[in-house]
Amino acid sequence: MTIVDELLTVIRATMPAVTVFDSGAPDENNDTDVPERYAVYWPDIGTPEGGNVAGEFTGGTYRWQMTYVAPDRGMAEWMANEVRSLVGTRPFIPGFVCGQVLLPVSLPARRDEQVLARRVVVVIDRFELLAEQR
């Protein structure tokens, strides 16, 4: 597993009763099996950091966005707060030494006007983690 996969596992553990999709979600306007509430994990592959004298990069900054989707503001904010519990922690990811999870960007709850099938409120957070391979 990659660090991106391991982060998804850590995030899913913060709210086991909520579906967390990886890099996309069902079409709200056309799919009848869309959960009432869910989150979407949008990871990047990491930016190399910390090159050593030999020019080898052993670590990186990993950034990801979480989009929390719910029928109302309260539920969207609850999901965001569950995942935000990771901020300031150092997740255990096999093969890596991790820094603290940071939350440099958080956007407030808002109605998603592109979803016509039902009322949807979203909250968006962007996280960062510096991790070095062992």
Which residues are CB-contacts of 47 (< 8 A; sequence separation ≥ 6)? 60, 61, 62, 63
16 vs 59, residue with greater confidence: 16
* Closest of 24, 95, 99 to residue 62, by C-alpha: 99
What pLDDT, in 10s, does the model give residues 117-126?
Answer: 778 999 999 9
3-state SS assignment for residue 11? helix
Kindly report the number of other CB atoms within 10 A of residue 86's CB atom. Answer: 21
Q: Which of 20-29, 51-60, 90-99 has the weakest average pLDDT?
A: 51-60
Distance CA(107)–CA(72), nearest Å, equals: 15
The domain spans of the chain are 3-133
Residue 23: the pLDDT is 95
Q: Which CATH class for the 3-133 domain? A: alpha beta
70 vs 55, residue with greater confidence: 70
Average pLDDT over residues 57-82: 94
